[in-house]
């Protein structure tokens, strides 16, 4: 399972969204900076805090030109309930195949019970990895303020004459 490094192209993943939809990542994020989050599950208070923080930062993320997508192994009913309870406006994919996702991205997997450990990626508008954050446990994850600051920095310095 190779880790994804800055400059690597993010692999194609299909996220099943409650209600029968599916979206492709990074395709659905194309043209904007993207954040892809893998979470342990609705039972994890750190995951809940992270997803709620990205939701609260929604307007700032939009202003910075950042789109968010997340996924976990939880089932559709749990995911739909979580999305409704916390008013998530970004896609949260359910029933992720933890081992397949790990094989493509290098994310750590907990075997029993089976789930993905917290993992986060910041992608450029072409779907290339800018930052990858891998955790082997509950803590160590992307936070919205860091993502917004990074994207603003990159935009400012891309526009500056050399």
Q: Which two tokens stand for residue 34?
A: 């993207």
**Nearest-CA neighbor of 29 among 119, 95, 126?**
126
Residue 156 phi/psi, 5° resolution? -65, -40
Range of the domain at 94: 33-159
What is the number of structural domains in the chain? 1
Q: Which two tokens stand for residue 70?
A: 């997340």
pTM of the model: 0.96
- Give domain status of residue 7, yes or no: no
Per-residue pLDDT of the chain (162 residues; tens, 9 = 90+): 689 999 999 999 999 999 999 999 999 999 999 999 999 999 999 999 999 999 999 999 999 999 999 999 999 999 999 999 999 999 999 999 999 999 999 999 999 999 999 999 999 999 999 999 999 999 999 999 999 999 999 999 987 665
- Give domain status of residue 39, yes or no: yes
**Nearest-CA neighbor of 151 among 135, 131, 136?**
131
Residue 74 to residue 81: CA distance in whole angstroms: 11
Residue where the block lists tokens 């991205």: 105
39: domain CATH number?
3.40.30.10
- Give domain status of residue 123, yes or no: yes
């Amino acid at each position: 399972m190779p880790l994804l490094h800055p400059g690597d192209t993010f692999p194609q993943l299909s996220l099943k969204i409650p209600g029968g939809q599916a979206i492709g990542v990074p395709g659905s994020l194309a043209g904007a900076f993207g954040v892809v989050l893998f979470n342990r599950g609705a039972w994890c208070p750190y995951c809940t805090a992270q997803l709620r923080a990205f939701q609260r930062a929604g307007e700032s993320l939009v202003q910075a030109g950042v789109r968010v997508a997340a996924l976990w192994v939880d089932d559709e009913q749990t995911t739909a309930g979580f999305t409704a309870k916390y008013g998530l406006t970004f896609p949260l994919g359910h029933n992720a195949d933890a081992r397949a996702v790990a094989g493509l991205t290098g994310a750590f997997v907990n075997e029993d019970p089976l789930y993905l450990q917290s993992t986060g990626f910041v992608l450029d508008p072409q779907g290339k990895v800018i930052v990858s954050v891998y955790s082997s446990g509950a803590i160590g994850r992307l936070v919205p303020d860091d993502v917004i600051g990074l994207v603003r920095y990159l935009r400012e310095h891309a526009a500056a004459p050399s």
